Amino acid sequence: MKCDCHHADYSSCIDIVPIFSGLSAEEKQEVAAITGHKSYTKGEMIYLAGDKGEKLYVIHEGYVKISRLSPTGKEQVIRVLGPGEFMGELTLFSSQPMTDNAVAITDTTMCMIEGQQLKKLMQKYPAIAFKIMEELSRRLEKAEN
């Protein structure tokens, strides 16, 4: 289903995501054309460790907790994401399954882009690839410090 997520000012999911900020209006429309949407209720699982990924999830409204279980079974919160932030990017570039769990901690609306379609857009618009690499680098640096 095409993404019809809108903020109060009627800007689309694409407009609030930093990785798409350098795109023209026409390029953003191309991204929106391959974007689906889904709503989750508070407490609903979005994905579990071990699930097949291959999607970029973009939070439009609400908050999502990313966590994983320690070897002793204790939950370790990796981060909490809000509007404009994304997740699932690591599985876009490998055949590895998801390594963490994602749960909606409020009612949440997300836009989702299938990995194969996003890769095609990244080839067409390298700026998207560079923005994703920039964000991954930022997250890696934060995790190391």
Q: Considering all CA atoms of the chain, what is the largest pairwise distance in Å, rounded to the nearest integer?
A: 49
In words, the CATH class of domain 13-144 is: mainly beta
Record the tokens describing residue 106, joined without a space.
Answer: 């409020």
Q: The whole model's pTM is what?
A: 0.80
Q: What is the pLDDT of residues 11-59, one digit of tens each?
A: 467 777 777 777 788 888 888 888 888 999 999 999 999 998 888 899 9
**Angle (deg, nearest 10), helices 25-33 and 115-124:** 160
The reported pLDDT for the residue numbered 21 is: 75
- Res. 6 pLDDT band, cuts 50 70 90: very low
Question: Where are the domains positioned within the chain?
Answer: 13-144
Q: What is the pLDDT of residues 117-129, one digit of tens each?
A: 888 988 988 888 8
The reported pLDDT for the residue numbered 93 is: 75
Q: In what order do the strands lie in the sheet with 86-87?
A: 35-40, 108-114, 55-61, 86-87
What are the distances in angstroms from CA 42 to CA 50, 87, 136, 138, 140?
Answer: 22, 18, 27, 28, 28
Q: What is the pLDDT of residues 70-115, one digit of tens each?
A: 999 999 999 999 998 989 887 877 778 899 999 999 999 999 988 8
Q: Which residues contact 8 (CB under 8 A, 6 or more apart)?
A: none
The reported pLDDT for the residue numbered 12 is: 67
Hey, CA dihedral for 116, 118, 136, 42, is it positive or negative? Answer: negative
The reported pLDDT for the residue numbered 7 is: 38
What are the distances in angstroms from CA 13 to CA 72, 98, 111?
Answer: 38, 23, 7
Q: Please, which residues bridge with residue 40 across strands?
A: 108
pLDDT higher than 70, residue 2: no
- Res. 9 pLDDT band, cuts 50 70 90: very low
